[in-house]
Amino acid sequence: MATSYQLLATPIEYLKGVGPQRAELLKKELNLFTFGDLLHHFPFRYIDRTSFYKINQLMPNTQYVQVIGKVMEKNVVGDGKGKRFVAYFADDTGEMELVWFQGLRWAEKAVEIGKKYIAFGKPGIFRGEYSIVHPDISPYEEETVQADGRLYPMYSSTEKLKSRGLHSRGLEKLLSTLLALVTVHDLPENLTAGLIRQFEFMPRFDAYRQIHFPDKDQTLEQAKNRLKFEEFFFSQVRILQMKSGRKKTSSGFVFSSLDPSFNRFYAEKMPFQLTAAQKRVVKEIRSDLLSGKQMNRLLQGDVGSGKTMVSLLVMLMAIDNSFQSAMMVPTELLALQHYRSLTKLTEGLGLRIGLLTASVKGRERKQLLASLQEGEVHLLVGTHALIEDKVVFKNLGLIVIDEQHRFGVEQRASLWTKNHLPPHVLVMTATPIPRTLAMTLYGDLDVSTIDELPPGRKPITTVHRFDAARLRVFGFMKEQIAAGRQVYIVYPLIEESEKQDYKYLMDGYESIARAFPLPDFAISIVHGKMKPEARDFEMQRFLQNQTQIMVATTVIEVGVDVPNASVMVIESAERFGLSQLHQLRGRVGRGAEHSYCILLTGDKLSAEARARMNILTETNDGFRIAEEDLKLRGPGDLEGTRQSGIEPFHIADLVRDQQILLQARTAAEQILSEDPSLQSEQNASLRNYLLSTRKKEKRWSRIS
Ligand code: ADP
Ligand code: MG
């Protein structure tokens, strides 16, 4: 067993044709450290190398092509950013250009005048001439174009790698070298005989061969199918095992009493009736808290679905059992707001609520920390300041993490250690995770969903307008303000170009101030660079309707609650992601009035940006938006997934391969239900494979 995995663990520099320099690049550019990593660098597409295009057959929308031609002339032209190497490439039907903006020196050397090459790439038109930018080129040899009906792999590469000869063709050579070394012992069967029979899987060893160098379409499909299943299957097995392991081992505090705080609050203080969905999730949580096991639960619910109230009820349960609660939120603004509203809601219950953020300093901070340690503070609201070592609780029983997608895994995990037994954990998110993804990412968390909004919410009408319609939008804002409503105007703030964004915000503020002059209108402005006190002052003015317009950055994205605001105008909406836009929109529609969200964009929109605008104008359903987001961007970009630390899938696609995911999930559940620790002889292959890959696992899931 031990020797089987050694070949694939060999550092990449030891592969013939790699060497130290290329190895450095392969590590840096593609994260390929070992033979095994390279083996998992699967092609992103396949081409039929036996079909060639003539230059006069190229069309404006032609996809990847191969052209055989001769280099007639070559030159370095342009300068600065436009500096490039151009080879003039001709066949008997016409001429085109091969262009390199990077790796000029390499290309200049590689391309010889008068020699024949096969150029591969996606043609474009520049000033009426066809060209291929950064083509794959290889010397033309008669025998390489013999018709053999095979599909050739295309590997993703980078400019730096290409300049070292590691374009797709170069990687293909490395893979063929590698595959010549790999034997069936290096890729032992890892599925059970039962699974292979049930799904008619191709043997594992063959699958790796076929995925790189398929014999034909059909074998390629079989290989893909098997490898995708494998990836999903083992991730599901790990998650399910982790989940049952946690359930077995993590004892947790039991919160049996609901007196006096919970019951008094429920009977006397609740400002409204809980929705059926809120009641249901409170019950789900309560049964966790009675189970004697540590709770690790994700509470998802659309913006405005009333997660805060649920968390307050749960925190009261902790307090009634002599435990402290902590609530961690991503921004100071939100911390302050929660602090205030929780204090107000629980007035008269004799609870002490603390607020801990970076701006709580000096004596005030010292006193707060002391009374926290004494157990005098029942409930602490704060930002990530909560996780500092200096923050010591007397008896922390529950952690609520609001807007969990804004936190990284480590931040969350460090709260874990704040008591001798791990406290119960409730993470809340308004970025709903589609079911299939939740299953994969948070499979070891229990998930509760609030799928209902409190009654009486009026719909939000969302429209998309181009910048040219700005004056009309201003006119509409004036109407709403005249009717007593308030308006948000949000500007994007993206860290990379902070200065520029800041200028953009200020310019925007000025033009708004001109269009909405005093004394008829008063404007607040809130952004990340302001001192917290100043920010709070502006927020309060807006909350109390002393200002009618709030010009802001996305600092108001989460949690801010001003029911009288009925219009959300989002500037440069094309620069925001779907879920962020949905969050921002969630700032309105909180009062009784009909609300509006206006997405302002430039005239030129990419197809994807247009799709985003369309989705938002079509639906208010956070779950649908999350699904669409996943489709548009892929799971790797979905908020929260990048931080989740889960190993990316090499070949399986959470969106397109949901069918396979479900099959894998079902199979994993079935096998584990019969043999939870995979001890039986028939599951030996699964057990061995899991053992052999365990080291690579990250402990990402303790708190996810
Ligand atoms: P989110 O789930 O986005 O955190 P909040 O907890 O901020 O939502 O709730 C949004 C608003 O709805 C708040 O003003 C809150 O007081 C109100 N709310 C919550 N639950 C109910 C309910 N059951 N009935 C009426 N209003 C509710
Ligand atoms: Mg909230």
Q: How far is the CA of 306 from the centre of ligand 1 (A)?
A: 3
3-state secondary structure of 274: coil
More confident residue, 612 or 560: 612
Which residues line ligand 1 at a C-beta cut-off of 6 Å? 272-275, 278, 301, 303-309, 430, 454, 561, 590
The first and second tokens of residue 297, run together, are: 């639960």
Q: In this predicted model, which residue has the larger pLDDT, 623 or 263?
A: 263
> Which ligand 1 atom minimizes the distance to the CA of 301?
2
List of domains in the chain: 1-47+153-188 (1.10.150), 51-146 (2.40.50.140), 261-291+306-429 (3.40.50.300), 461-619 (3.40.50.300)
What does the pLDDT average to over 687-694?
Answer: 85
Q: Is the pLDDT of residue 667 over 90?
A: yes
Q: For residues 505 and 489, what is the distance between their CA atoms, to the nearest angstrom?
A: 10
Question: Residues whose CB is under 5 A from ligand 2 (ion)?
Answer: 559
Evaluate if residue 485 carries a pLDDT over 80.
yes
Determine which residue's CA is closest to atom 24 belonging to ligand 1.
454
Total Cβ atoms within 10 A of residue 283: 11
Q: What is the pLDDT of residues 344-392, one digit of tens each?
A: 999 999 999 999 998 899 999 999 999 999 999 999 999 888 888 789 9
Least confident range of 133-147, 267-281, 323-337: 133-147
| Most confident of the ranges 37-51, 533-547, 633-647 | 533-547
Question: From atom 16 of ligand 1, which residue's Cα is the shortest distance away?
Answer: 306
Q: Which of ligand 1's atoms lies nearest the C-alpha of 310?
A: 6
Q: Residue 147: pLDDT band by 50, 70, 90 thresholds?
A: low
Spacing, Cα 615 to ligand 1 middle (Å): 25
Of the listed ligands, the closest to the CA of 334 is 2
Confidence of residue 140 (pLDDT cuts 50, 70, 90): confident
Give one word for 604, left, alpha or beta, with left for phi > 0 and alpha for psi -120 to 50: beta
Smallest CA separation from ligand 1 atom 19, residue: 306
Closest CA to 79 of 101, 98, 97: 101
Among all ligands shown, which has an atom nearest to the Cα of 312?
A: 1
Both tokens assigned to 130: 């066809």
Strand 523-526 versus strand 446-450 pairing type: unpaired
- The Cα 96–Cα 87 span in angstroms is 9
Measured in angstroms, how far is the CA atom of residue 479 from the centroid of ligand 1? Answer: 27
Q: How far is the CA of 416 from the centre of ligand 1 (A)?
A: 28
Tell me the best of 265, 266, 272 to mutate to test the pocket of ligand 1, counting ligand atoms within 8 Å of each CB and taking the most.
Answer: 272
Tell me what pLDDT residue 433 has: 66
Helix axes 217-249, 684-693, angle to 10 degrees: 80
Angle of helix 578-585 relative to helix 622-633, nearest 10 degrees? Answer: 160
User: Which atom of ligand 1 is found nearest the CA of 305?
Assistant: 2
Measured between alpha carbons, how far is residue 662 from residues 220, 659, 687, 701 in Å? 22, 5, 21, 21
Enter the pTM of the model.
0.65
| Mean pLDDT over the full length of the chain | 85
Q: Which of 405, 437, 366 is nearest to 559 (CA)?
A: 405
* pLDDT at site 701: 33
Confidence (pLDDT) at 695: 53
Choose among 255, 254, 306: nearest CA to 280.
Answer: 306
Nearest CA to ligand 1 atom 15: 306
Write out the two tokens for 439.
Answer: 């299953």
Q: How many C-beta atoms surround the C-beta of residue 89 within 10 A? A: 28
Strand residue runs (E) in 226-332:
296-301, 324-328
d(CA 358, ligand 2 centre) in Å: 21
Comparing CA positions, the residue from 202, 220, 200 lying closest to residue 212 is 220
Measured in Å, residue 429 CA sits from the centre of ligand 2 at 8
- SS3 for 174-233 is HHHHHHHHCCCCCCCCCCCHHHHHHHCCCCHHHHHHHHHCCCCHHHHHHHHHHHHHHHHH
CB-neighbour burial class of residue 102 (10 A; exposed 0-12, middle 13-18, buried 19+)? middle
Instruction: Choose between 1 and 186: higher pLDDT.
Output: 186
Q: How far away, in angstroms, is 322 Cα from ligand 2 center?
A: 26
Q: Mean pLDDT across the stretch 244-267? A: 87
Return the pLDDT at 405: 57
Comparing 434 with 373, the larger pLDDT belongs to 373
Q: What is the pLDDT of residue 542?
A: 93
In the structure, what pLDDT confidence band is assigned to residue 247 with cuts at 50, 70 and 90?
Answer: low
Residue count of the chain: 704
> What is the CA angle 8-12-16, rounded to 5?
100
∠43-48-53 over CA atoms, to 5°?
125
Ligand 1 centroid distance, CA of 399 (Å): 20
Q: Using an 8 Å Cβ cutoff, are 88 and 32 in contact? A: no
Intra-chain end-to-end CA distance of the chain, in Å:
33
d(CA 55, CA 89) in angstroms, rounded, equals 9
Cβ-based neighbours of 132, under 8 Å, separated by 6 or more? 67, 96, 97, 98, 99, 119, 120, 121, 122, 123, 124
Give the pLDDT of residue 403. 72
At residue 494, the pLDDT reads 53
